[in-house]
Amino acid sequence: MKIGYIGLGLMGGPLARNLIRDGKNVLVYDLSNDAIQQTLAVGTTGSAAASVEDMVDCDVVFTSLPLPSHIKDVMMSENGLLTIMKKGSVYIDVSTIDPSTAEEIEDFARVRGIGFIGCPLGKGPAQAEKAEQPIFAGGDKATFDKVLSVLNIVGAPVHYLGGVKQAYAFKLISNMIGMTNLTVLSEGLRLGERAGIEAKQFQELLVETGANSFQLQVRGPWILNNDFANRFGVSLALKDVRLGCKMADGWGYDARFTKQAKKFYEQAEQSGMGKEDCNAVYKVL
């Protein structure tokens, strides 16, 4: 099996490296040569593509790209990869995009005899590097079964949610909850400071209450240590929150709490924090 991987950033790079570590024949492409070299360094079965068109003969192609528009440009434009991939091949996307775009991609691929599986991810780069990244898959069940062994290499556990709509909606909703929770946590930490409670003790005690959360346990200590290094950046968080609010609006639901949180991420980005971790929202609260 020949596998192509497009996009070797914080999430895509680790997943591609997992495939190479497993001995798979992987052709990789990224705009950053450093990202390519870092990925190829983990094994001998990977190689660099000069362009995405080099992946035309791949049996499976992955993309991990920032925006829906990037995916459509690479895969669905006039000379996009989906227009030249061989029939019977499978396209797997692990980006975070909106359900309507995912369904458009699925229809575009189906007409050309290509399977499409949407596989948004659940955690961060550290988990991805260890192949401990939860995968939320959606698409045709027969196609999913066809590539399940490959998905089990790049991450775990692999969950099948049904259609691509369900998979990408789940991811966006998850991020809407997580990012809104982070703004509430930041607000609470600021109030704890005003109350004069020692910051480390404050966080430790919150864990014992109904205020406990993933964000408290993971990003709380980073905030405590003034660590805003980019694991999941403000700009990416804002992109996902915007997509989620747009999705909700399209379904006639007003995501009021998420829209309020979105304002703080917008403020953080406008203040030059776009490439800092999303916990930098603490600074603007």
The catalytic residues are 171
What phi and psi, each to the nearest 5 degrees, are found at residue 15? -65, -40
The residues, any chain, with a CB within 8 Å of residue 93's CB and separated by 6 or more, are 62, 63, 64, 71, 102, 105, 116, 117, 118, 119
Q: How many C-beta neighbours within 10 Å does residue 146 have?
A: 16
Rounded to whole angstroms, the Cα distance separating 44 from 31 reads 21
Cα 156 to Cα 35, 122, 127, 147: the distances in Å are: 23, 10, 9, 14
Amino acid letter, residue 175:
N
Paired with 136 in beta bridges are 159
Paired with 158 in beta bridges are 135
Q: How many C-beta neighbours within 10 Å does residue 256 have?
A: 10
Cα radius of gyration rounded to whole Å, the chain: 20
Paired with 46 in beta bridges are 26
Rounded to whole angstroms, the Cα distance separating 238 from 250 reads 18
- Supply 191's token pair: 């109030």
